[in-house]
Chain A
């Protein structure tokens, strides 16, 4: 920062980049830079493409040399086997239930908490803000065993509720809403108060509708976190009938002899819903003004 401010404020010294040496240089650089970018894109896409195309190969072709990028024979057998033989339909429903319910709860309670932390400045809310900050320093991975004891003592062991309830509170969600509500002018609040609206009515009727963009962004993030979560289901679930996709996938890949056709099919199935969500709500993710601690 310090270095940046030392430079002369030359705004308007030249109409931005319409002509001059910068423009010409940019043109010269355009081809090589574009090439570099697309080589990188290819490197990032290759593992995914290879994996995706492999999932359409029959089991006999998966390991037969020479390998070919495009399946010689297209089949859906891997998907069908994964869906029927490994009971993937059930895991799919379990995961969807957990993700949807947790997301709704997370978004709602994060909005409430974020609003309270932004608009009511007293000792209590300030203290709780520090507490939430502390949770980012104490990830579940650090307290696996005691968390298991707590879940067990609460009677949540081996139930979907055991995954849902502890995941509702996320620091990121609270911070996102707090950050947003800090930008909402207090005047709005004061005039609503003068008009005699109750505190909770102000929140539900005025503030919550205002925060719609944040609501969507957090919903997508939360859905992704929960859909892909592994560690909570791992410690909470024991009975295979409650397994989520990630735990089920791990039990396939952790087996002595990996059933690759099923594993590939199952993995691709597990990705699809998120790809769908992303395709529809892309702009809320890619254009989100992702700031403070948006990672869980």
Chain B
């Protein structure tokens, strides 16, 4: 809490006797240390109790065979050794990666595309369109799952009804693993577009009109304008949207619980659901914590890679 970092405007003081100075120093200390301490106090406590404590506990658990009750029994790296040989863990992890790789670009393209249409002066009814497309933001992941389950029900869904009416055979949306994953991806794009669209609208509006017109005068066509003026202009927002969507996709849980519950079978069990199942339903707390640590490292790696990539480009 060095005084040197305090705001400079309060530093100049009359050179007084040492006693006076120490008293005023005391008061200054009170003002600039105690006040912020009071202001951040509650959140510091919450941070320590609900982030540092469970984080540390998770790390400790991952080296034990803890099952929710009793004493902690350290077993070294056994959990991790077992985990890296566990095919269901790999299946969950690769399925999660696949889901992320497919859903993030879809969310990115749809939210940027819609935002561009909503910013363009050529389109009509922009306000109404914006409100309608924004509605899915209000809907919880669980209900998003319910809505899409209702749409894509194998025997009763609207989509299969339309397909059979048009003369096709019913599509196995829930008994085929890849098709089920596809429905999950659609649902996540549907639910995730709204918010990212808002971010892109704000970013697109910040691109100076003069820049676009200058490019147009220089003979740049629409694609060139997009590629060389708009895309660089919204790069920071793009970076944020991709990072947030990636992390969001990696920890997808609630929507899938409602939509497919990881099915058919366990084919589409993603990593968080795997952790939940092992940790709570089978109460292998130690083992689940080891899996959590792996997930955390993956998330950190993703963030660091994207940060690096972003810096290089900037």
The answer to whether A121 touches B7, judged by C-beta atoms less than 8 angstroms apart, is yes
Q: Which of B81-89, B173-181, B244-252 contacts A (4 or more CB under 8 A)?
A: B244-252
For the complex formed, measure the closest distance between the CB of A256 and the CB atoms of chain B, giving whole angstroms.
11
Chain A residues, CB < 8 A from B134: 285-286
- How many residues belonging to A are interface residues under a CB distance threshold of 8 Å? 116
- How many residues belonging to B are interface residues under a CB distance threshold of 8 Å? 115
> B161 at the A/B interface (Cβ < 8 Å)?
yes
Chain B residues, CB < 8 A from A121: 5-7
The answer to whether A290 touches B198, judged by C-beta atoms less than 8 angstroms apart, is yes
The answer to whether B276 touches A16, judged by C-beta atoms less than 8 angstroms apart, is no
The residue that A246 contacts in the complex, of B142, B190, B280, B314, with Cβ under 8 A, is B142
For the complex formed, measure the closest distance between the CB of A52 and the CB atoms of chain B, giving whole angstroms.
9
For the complex formed, measure the closest distance between the CB of B70 and the CB atoms of chain A, giving whole angstroms.
12
The answer to whether A230 touches B5, judged by C-beta atoms less than 8 angstroms apart, is no
> A19 at the A/B interface (Cβ < 8 Å)?
no
> A60 at the A/B interface (Cβ < 8 Å)?
no
Find residues 229-279 in chain A having any chain B CB closer than 8 Å to their own CB: 229-231, 235, 245-246, 249-250, 253-254, 260, 263-264, 267, 270-271, 274-275, 278
Q: Give residues in B with beta carbon < 8 Å to A.
A: 1-2, 5-7, 9-10, 31-33, 35-40, 42-44, 46-47, 49-51, 53-58, 61, 113-114, 117-118, 120-126, 129-143, 145-151, 155-156, 158, 161, 165, 190, 193, 195, 198-199, 202, 208-211, 213-218, 228-229, 232-233, 235, 240, 244, 247-248, 251, 253-254, 257-258, 261, 272, 275-276, 279-280, 285, 288-289, 292, 295-296, 299-300, 303, 314
Q: Give residues in A with beta carbon < 8 Å to B.
A: 1-4, 7-14, 16-17, 22, 26-27, 29-30, 33-34, 36-38, 40-41, 44-45, 47-48, 50-51, 54, 62-63, 65-67, 109-110, 112-113, 115-117, 119-125, 128, 131-132, 134-135, 137-139, 141-150, 154, 165-166, 168-169, 174, 186, 190, 193, 198-200, 203, 224, 227-231, 235, 245-246, 249-250, 253-254, 260, 263-264, 267, 270-271, 274-275, 278, 282, 285-286, 288-295
**Nearest 10 CB-CB pairings of A with B:** A228-B140, A10-B214, A199-B35, A146-B57, A146-B54, A11-B210, A120-B36, A230-B254, A116-B39, A146-B58
- Beyond the given pairs A44-B133, A142-B296, A144-B272, 19 more chain A to chain B contacts, judged by CB atoms under 8 angstroms and listed by A's residue number, are A7-B218, A9-B214, A13-B210, A16-B210, A33-B117, A33-B120, A34-B125, A37-B126, A40-B113, A44-B132, A62-B156, A142-B58, A145-B275, A168-B42, A203-B39, A246-B140, A250-B142, A263-B146, A264-B146
